[in-house]
Every structure is written in structure tokens, then in C-alpha cells.
Amino acid sequence: MNPTPPSSPRDLEGREVLVCVCGGVAAYKTCEVVSKLVQRGAGVTVAMSRAARKFVGRATFEALTARRVLTGLWDESLIADSPHIRATAETDAALVAPATANIIGKIAGGLADDIVSTLVMSTVAPVVVAPAMNDRMWNNLFVQANVRRLREAGYTLVGPGEGWLACRSLGAGRMAEPAEIIDAVVAALHAKKSA
């Protein structure tokens, strides 16, 4: 006899979350974040940078969300539909995870030259950013200046933590754990609902 699996709360039913995945080993953690958000009832749309697809395949996120993954601005089948505008119009909260030094710099500089940066620039929903990078990159003066700009603009940063990094060193730059990221996204959803 198999025990009944514990039921997960469906407290995010009817909420739309946009998850932007950038290129970094920590992208594997984003799979768990997406899965848990879907289990809690959220509709999740994933966008992936070209570099992100080197770490996790789009099929993984399509299986987890039962939705097409957005991978580029110039997909011929999508141009007339403007999915990046539609996706952000329906978004209740956005998450960038892992957030590389590159995407943090783009957001802080107001650049929109790929699917991820364009989506972030076009959303008016609360944005949660989960940085992940080498500790020397994280501590770089320009990266820290860009992080300050994001905080000043009202973005929520979660992490990074300290620990073992993919570059085989110990230090700050490890992406926050999925539970912490989910808590930040849920807080952003509740903040939007009460606004």
C-alpha cells in the first residue's frame, strides 16, 4: 500500500510568474524553483538566454510548466504575437535566476538586447533577482554599483550566499537556495496583491 503523498498548498492559484534564466551552473536550482511554483498553483512562463540553454535544456522547463519556453525575440512563429509584451502584461512577479553579472549590468544600464533583458525592461511587476557568479565577480566594484542601482530601483535581491562555487573556490556568489528564492517570489506576489 502506497502512502498518500502530502498535498501541496495551491496558494498561488491564478498568479502568473515570469522566470528568466541566465547562463550559469546554478540554473539547475531554477528547475526546482519552477517546479515548486507550479505545484503551488502558479502559472509559470520561462524565458532562457542563449547561454542558459548550455546548462539546462528548454525541454526541461517546458515539461515543468506545460508552456512554451521563450528563447528569442525573432522566432518567426512568434513575431506577430509579441510574446514578450504579452508575457509581461500578464505577469504578477518576475524572477531572474541565476542572475549573472552580465544581466545585472544590462538591467542596471537599461539595456534590452535579448529575450531576458527585454522581458525585464518591459515588466511593471515586482522583480526578484537571484545573483550567481564567481566571488571575485560578485565583489567587483562595477557589479556592486549595479547591484546598488537595482536595489535603489526597487528590485528585490535574494542572496547570493557563501559556499562552494562552481569555480572550485569558497566565497560569496552562490545562488540562494530554492526555498529562499520561492519565499522572495511569494512575498513579491503578496506585495503586488496588496498594492
Cell reading at 148: 546598488
For the stretch 54-76, pLDDT in tens is 999 999 999 999 999 999 876 65
pTM exceeding 0.75: yes
Residue 161 has a pLDDT of 74
> Of 20, 22, 31, 167, which one is the catalytic site residue?
167
Cα 48 to Cα 56: distance, rounded to the nearest angstrom: 9
pLDDT under 70 in the chain at which residues? 1-8, 74-85, 163-168, 170-172, 192-195
Provide CB contacts within 8 A for 193, sequence distance 6+.
92
Residue 183 has a pLDDT of 96
How close are the terminal C-alpha atoms of the chain, in Å? Answer: 47
> Of 104, 100, 136, which Cα lies nearest the Cα of 120?
104
Strands 156-157 and 93-99: unpaired
> Of 141, 122, 24, which Cα lies nearest the Cα of 73?
122
- For the chain, domain boundaries: 16-194
Superfamily for 16-194?
Flavin prenyltransferase-like (3.40.50.1950)
Strands 161-164 and 170-174: antiparallel
Q: DSSP assignment of 175-188, as one string? A: PPPHHHHHHHHHHH
Is residue 31 flagged as an active site residue? no
Cell reading at 58: 528548454
For the stretch 85-115, pLDDT in tens is 677 888 999 999 999 999 999 999 999 999 9
